[in-house]
Amino acid sequence: MSAEDLLASARAWIRQDPDAETRDELAGIVTRAAGGDAAALEDLDDRFRTRLAFGTAGLRGALGAGSNRMNRVLVAQAAAGFAAYLLERSAGATPTVVVGYDGRRNSRRFALDSAELFAGAGLRAILLPRLLPTPVLAFAVRHLGADAGVMVTASHNPPNDNGYKVYLGGPDEGSQIVAPVDAEIAARIQRVADAGDVGLLPRSDAYEIAGEEVVTAYIEATAAVAPAGSGADGLRWVYTAMHGVGGETVERIVRTAGYPQPTVVRAQQHPDPTFRTVSFPNPEEPGALDLSYEVGRSARAELIIANDPDADRLAVAIPDQDAPGGWRRLSGNEVGLLLGARAARAAEGTPGATLACSLVSSPGLGVIARHHGLGFAETLTGFKWISRAEGIVFGFEEALGYLVNPETVRDKDGISAAVALLGLASEARERGESLSTLLAELGETYGHFGSGQVSIRVEDLSIIGTVMTSLRQTPPASIGDAVVESAEDLLHAPEGQPSGDVLRYRLADGGRVIVRPSGTEPKLKVYIDTRADSAESAAAAVAAIEAGVRVLLDERS
């Protein structure tokens, strides 16, 4: 875009922006850019050369003015476009849409804007009663028989981000949207944007506020996942909400299910959009659980449970004298296999019952499924795909996401997963054992699986494209000392199999390496999986392959 076009776009944006903060922000940049400030022009280019794309993850990005940021103009366009989509597919009926929001900056404002615009478009709009976890919104779509749901959240993204996640009811059973629906909604959003001033869109305050019964119903359904047995008596555990919205809901569910209340990480227990005690509000990130470890040592806890800020992910840590700080965070694959084995035992003998995971998650879940005579589905990454596996009784992905209660929530749910995990810990205690014992039993029963990940965060997204192109054009013959037996490009996967921007290498020693760009962050991700005769051998194989992966990425970037 030329400087003149950038300035014209910015001024048009200011005229329709209902938010004084972002209007003033942009007006200052425009003034400097009009005066020839090169940095201000570059800033405008970043904000207006494209739109924040609406896809299967909805919208997600940094807060700020401009079409390439999250703001009230973009949210208004998204709400109006989504309303148009729902009306067109409703065959004359009045669609119902539920709106939820978390504790991030502007989440409530974006949710109110959405509810007003949905109501103004003639939809029945229902706003959840207060800030609540994402799984409550996913539950509410089905519980209320709604046609759709919107959750305003950026999950575990950096503090200045926010997002707009979309669910569909009816035959989609409260799952997140998938292609081609995302493109159809995006086209209608674009029409709204092309039409101009969002201030002209009809609004109404005739939306409803959901009653507390919705939250109570979620609490009762989730507590029923694993009611406490005698092994729960005296269980010492720590919980952190990671500055998010899970705390109150978790405490109510734990009380209903009959478990002892946790020792909470008080500095992180209540919503805080600055996420002041962590550099990155993701329990996977180094240092994110440090405060939990301190509290765990003081409380002499047997385990630590953490949710991410919108409580759709779960992290678990167990005491380990050999680990830094005396605690070891279990990998997403370890927790997934623990919960998967639990689900498989319960579903054994059920016709059509299926375990599902993303293609980058541990192949151990397939082994568990076969051991118990169950179906197994491997999908693309994301619960929008996992949740749609036919006959699903359990699903997970290695990025700390678990679906343990598909009859009520068709999405990852860090709270119901926490209850299931507490159930496992209690059952183990009843036998005088622990989660560590259960992990060892997994290896003895199904084989020892190791997993690792290499993530490369980039400032320049073109680096990711360069690496992927190089690997496609010249597949590696080996990764470290491991010989590559076969290379698959899932952009060209056979019909009926997961396809996408994913490269998969099967190694001669039985290991596996998968490379893909992240769908939500500026990262290139590499997933490593091994299987061996012992946990130590599997871990050693992962370490060797990881070293080879880092050398390979250095050569190709």
Q: What is the pTM of this model?
A: 0.94
Domains defined along the chain, listed by start? 50-210 (3.40.120.10), 221-446 (3.40.120.10), 448-556 (3.30.310.50)
Element (H, E) at 170: none
pLDDT at residue 498, as a whole number:
75
Tokens 């396809």 correspond to 499
- The 8 Å CB, 24+ separation contacts for 529-534 are 529/333, 529/362, 529/363, 529/449, 529/450, 529/451, 530/449, 530/450, 530/451, 531/363, 531/364, 531/447, 531/448, 531/449, 531/450, 532/448, 532/450, 533/448, 534/443, 534/448
pLDDT at residue 557, as a whole number:
82
- Residues belonging to the active site: 155
d(CA 501, CA 489): 8
pLDDT at residue 410, as a whole number:
96
For the chain, 557 residues long, give each residue's pLDDT as a single digit of tens: 899 999 999 999 999 999 999 999 999 999 999 999 999 999 999 999 999 999 877 999 999 999 999 999 999 999 999 999 999 999 889 999 999 999 999 999 999 999 999 999 999 999 999 999 999 999 999 999 999 999 999 999 999 999 999 999 999 999 999 989 999 999 999 999 999 899 999 999 999 999 999 999 999 999 999 999 999 999 999 999 999 999 999 999 999 999 999 999 999 999 999 999 998 899 999 899 999 999 999 999 999 999 999 999 999 999 999 998 899 999 999 999 999 999 999 999 999 999 999 999 999 999 999 999 999 999 988 999 999 999 999 999 999 999 999 999 999 999 999 999 999 999 999 999 999 999 999 999 999 999 999 988 888 888 999 999 999 999 999 999 999 999 999 988 777 677 789 999 999 988 999 999 987 678 899 999 999 999 999 999 999 999 999 999 999 88
DSSP character string of 484-512: EEEEEEGGGPPTTS--SS-EEEEETTS-E
Residue 28 CB contacts under 8 Å (≥ 6 apart), including other chains: none
d(CA 310, CA 289): 16
Element (H, E) at 395: strand 392-397
List the beta bridge partners of residue 303. 237
pLDDT at residue 458, as a whole number:
87
Phi first, then psi: what are they for 355, rounded to 5°?
-100, 145
List the beta bridge partners of residue 55. 58
Q: Give alpha helix (H) positions in 144-211.
A: 181-195
pLDDT at residue 530, as a whole number:
95
Structure tokens at 102: 């978390």
d(CA 378, CA 355): 9
